[in-house]
Structure 1
Amino acid sequence: MDDPEYAQARRDLVADIRRRLDVSDTVLSAIEAVPRHAFVPDDRRAHAYEDRPLPIGHDQTISAPHMVAIMTDLLDLERGDRVFEVGTGCGYHAAVLAGVVGPRNVFTAEYVPELAEAARDRLDRLGYDVTVYAGDAREAFREEPPFAAASVTCAPDDGVPESIVDRVQTGGRVVAPVGTDRGGQRLVRLTVRDDGIEPEDHGGVRFVPMR
């Protein structure tokens, strides 16, 4: 059963994000429903509902909730859409996505095997029906039909790899941070069109690099 203190902390967090950002109620409801404290290391639980990234080991982080809200909102998802996530980490972002699109519709790949295994166990234990692949995202879910969207939670240096964009159906969207710490990173949304890719820039961000 959820601790009432954590539940109130989530409500306060969502109220704060709502004041600062123009994101959908659907996305905010998903964030309010996900117990972020269950996705962070035990020694970080006191900070779980602060709106900032936190370390999760292996030089990786759990993204700040406001950034999860922004990225999920930019995907413009509907219930039943199938989503490909690159960079599972602890599984928090995948859980939020699942709250939007429903069970069995989120497919997520994690390069670090220890993180993939831990995320799979955590998501299962918490009741999120998410498919987790351990290994290189370029090889993940090759047998699956095209996805409605892709969410990339780690930053490629020189643009989103074609191997990820190619997994998204026409009319679908890819949201990703692109760039380096030294040169700066930008959050981009790519919409797949019949005649090419339509890019949009959504401002400066900072993410761990893609591996």
Structure 2
Amino acid sequence: MNSLQGIGMTSQRTRGRMIERLREQGIRDERVLAAIAAVPRHIFVEPALSHRAYEDTALPLILGQTISQPYVVARMIELLLAGRGGLGKTLEVGAGCGYQAAVLAMLSKDVYAVERIAPLLSRARENLRQLRLSQVRLKHADGNQGLVEASPYDTIIVAAAAARVPQTLLDQLAPGGRLILPVGGGQEQVLSLIERTPEGFKETRFDAVRFVPLLPGVE
């Protein structure tokens, strides 16, 4: 059995239990559940933690970063998909190890993912290469600036908390597009969904969350 399939604690059965937990936690969109079920999370975590890959928890990566909790990934994508046929062209800010980009690729026409930490981006490239996801394009860049050259985007998802919604990201959102990100600092972060309507930007706030801060520059 190859590394994509996994054995023991990374097997399909273990993955299935994670999907059932997500259902129990309120994730209802079967497209989201199928996308998460299709991605072998164990190849994205550190080898010593692969036996914990399908627990519903964030896990540490290199350089003090983390791979997001499966429920939070599912929740954000479900909010972005609600009432839509798909995610269209997607920008991910904070690619990390590439896990969320892989899930997004199951639901998007194209995924552009930016990451400010070069060694983490290299790890994401290695991980995604195993899955042969040709529609995912990675770039070493400051996520606060988005990725102007490929804009506008139907969907933007940000995996770090901003004190306020960056205007640069709003500017790169297509008409009818949706942007989701954690807004706030410290203990006071909430998921914020912004829709670009003919009348302007409409913001809806959802769950309290905990993310690392959205930092400027590149490393």
1:20 to 22, 25, 31: 25
Report the identity percentage: 34
Structure 1 counterpart of 2:107, one-letter code:
V
Offset, 1:132:
0.4
Report the counterpart of residue 148 of structure 1 in structure 2: 154
Distance of 1:53 and 1:138 partners within structure 2: 23
Alpha carbons of 1:20 and 1:138: their partners in 2 closer, same or farther (altered >3 Å)?
closer
Secondary structure at 1:82 match in 2:
strand
Distance of 2:190 and 2:86 partners within structure 1: 28
Distance of 1:36 and 1:145 partners within structure 2: 29
1:86 aligns with 2:90: no
1:3 aligns with 2:6: yes
Could you state the TM-score of these two structures normalised by the residue count of structure 1? 0.93
Secondary structure at 2:85 match in 1:
coil
> Is the Cα–Cα contact under 8 Å of residues 23 and 70 in structure 1 kept in the other structure?
no
Report the counterpart of residue 45 of structure 1 in structure 2: 50
Report the counterpart of residue 210 of structure 2 in structure 1: 206
1:133 aligns with 2:139: yes
Give the aligned length: 207
Deviates more, 1:22-31 or 1:137-146: 137-146
Structure 2 counterpart of 1:43, one-letter code:
A
Secondary structure at 1:116 match in 2:
helix
Unpaired runs of 5+ in structure 1? none
Could you state the TM-score of these two structures normalised by the residue count of structure 2? 0.89
Which runs of structure 1 show a deviation greater than 4 angstroms over 4 or more consecutive aligned residues? Answer: none
Offset, 1:79:
4.2
> Is the Cα–Cα contact under 8 Å of residues 86 and 150 in structure 1 kept in the other structure?
yes
Distance of 1:174 and 1:79 partners within structure 2: 14
Distance of 1:179 and 1:45 partners within structure 2: 31
Distance of 2:68 and 2:172 partners within structure 1: 24
Offset, 1:139:
4.4
Distance of 1:149 and 1:80 partners within structure 2: 6
Unpaired runs of 5+ in structure 2? none
1:195 aligns with 2:199: yes
Q: Over aligned residue pairs, what C-alpha RMSD do you find?
A: 1.5
Alpha carbons of 1:80 and 1:175: their partners in 2 closer, same or farther (altered >3 Å)?
closer
Offset, 1:145:
3.5
> Is the Cα–Cα contact under 8 Å of residues 170 and 192 in structure 1 kept in the other structure?
yes
Distance of 2:100 and 2:14 partners within structure 1: 18
Offset, 1:142:
1.9
Offset, 1:140:
4.9
- Counterparts of residues 116-131 of structure 1 (less than 5 Å): 116-129=121-134, 130-131=136-137
Structure 2 counterpart of 1:67, one-letter code:
V
- Counterparts of residues 48-59 of structure 1 (less than 5 Å): 48-59=53-64
1:101 to 100, 108, 127: 108
Distance of 1:71 and 1:25 partners within structure 2: 14
Alpha carbons of 1:75 and 1:48: their partners in 2 closer, same or farther (altered >3 Å)?
same
Distance of 1:45 and 1:3 partners within structure 2: 10
Offset, 1:50:
0.5
> Is the Cα–Cα contact under 8 Å of residues 85 and 152 in structure 1 kept in the other structure?
yes
